[in-house]
Amino acid sequence: MIKFLLLIFLIFFIYRAVRKYMPLGQKTEQRPGDGPVDEMVQDPSCMTYIPRRTAQRKVVGGKEFFFCSKECAEKFEKGMRAQR
């Protein structure tokens, strides 16, 4: 009986060792949160559409907004503060 347990332990040990040295697959470079490059986003301040990659990104009140310029971002942020 002890021999049997020892054998199970040995198999388990080998299994673990093999798993440790097995390659875990190639990690593909993916950046989650990166949408399509030419995605258009709306500026909530002046209501114009701008490409996401050129937009000014700002987090206001825990939400992410995109603006055409820093001026619009500041204007919007001030407006959000005034609402509270």
Residues that bind Zn ion (CB under 5 A): 43, 45-46, 68, 72
DSSP-assigned letter for residue 28: P
- Block residue for tokens 């009986």: 1
What is the Cα–Cα distance from 66 to 44, expressed in whole angstroms? 8
- Looking at the Cβ atoms of 10 and 51, the one nearer to Zn ion is 51
Query: Between 41 and 72, whose beta carbon lies closer to Zn ion?
Result: 72
Looking at beta carbons only, is 16 or 81 nearer to Zn ion? 81
Phi, psi of 16 (to 5 degrees): -65, -40
Rounded least distance, CB 55 to Zn ion, Å: 9
CB of 76 to Zn ion, least distance (A): 8
Measured from the CB of residue 75, what is the shortest distance to Zn ion in angstroms? 8
Contacting residues for 23 by C-beta, under 8 A, at least 6 apart? none
